[in-house]
Amino acid sequence: MKKIYLLLTAIILLCLPCNEVMAQAPYKASVGGMLPSLLALGPSSKFFFSEHLAFQVDILYKITLTGVISENRIYFGGVYPTVELNISMMYQKKIKEKKASELFWFIGGGLSLGCEVLGPNGKFGANAILGLEFVFKNSPIALQIDMRPGYGMLFNSGDKLNDYFFIPVTNPWSHFDWLIGITLRYTFKENNKKKLINKHF
């Protein structure tokens, strides 16, 4: 039991960055939402634990287009809407810096858990995440574009899944899962606080 407490303490200490390191991150935290783009929308937040390590949480309404590989061919499996919680960890690094903006690339992975909107099925998934983020220096706005290829699994407590798939499926049913998202967020930076203080005094 002591080993578990020591391990948890070590993880917490590693995730608590010093002010010097956080000053080099593009921002401390951000909140906003995925725009009604390709197949998904919903609220999103992102936090930096260090200069390059970020943690992202999305709650998404998502339309999933499924594909199944059989006999070296990809077949269209069906369409189903879900509500999902997606949590991702990512490594992020600056590519380019201009007078008014900074451009970052990132790569990582995540897990999602949710349920169907039109049926009784639950959903579990795992995904990679990679993309670009634009952070504007003179504004608290950040724009992120990402792609999330992954693996999804539908399951329920009964013997069959819903009948709106175009191929025979088993329970649970695994399939290729993916998402392309455009996310707009309000960032919380040290500069934001200084500007607010200067306005009032």
Q: How far is CA 21 from the centre of its chain?
A: 23
Give the number of residues written for the chain. Answer: 201
| 199 Cβ contact partners less than 8 Å away, ≥ 6 residues apart | none
Domains of the chain with bracketed CATH: 2-200 (2.40.160)
**What integer pLDDT is reported at residue 117 of this predicted model?**
86
pLDDT band at 136 (very low <50, low <70, confident <90, very high): very high
Mean pLDDT of 5-23: 49
Mean pLDDT of 83-104: 93
| 75 Cβ contact partners less than 8 Å away, ≥ 6 residues apart | 67, 68, 69, 167
Distance between the two ends of the chain, CA-based, in angstroms?
A: 53
pLDDT band at 27 (very low <50, low <70, confident <90, very high): very high
pLDDT of 186 higher than 60: yes
Which residue's entry shows tokens 């349920």? 115
Which residue's entry shows tokens 């069959």? 160
The H or E element that residue 8 is part of is: helix 2-15
Which residue's entry shows tokens 């200490």? 13
Lowest mean pLDDT among 17-31, 73-87, 154-168, 187-201: 187-201
Give me the chain's average pLDDT, please: 80
pTM of the model as a whole:
0.76
Buried b (16+ CB within 10 A) or exposed e, 17-39: beeeebeebbbbbbebbbeeeeb
**What integer pLDDT is reported at residue 197 of this predicted model?**
42
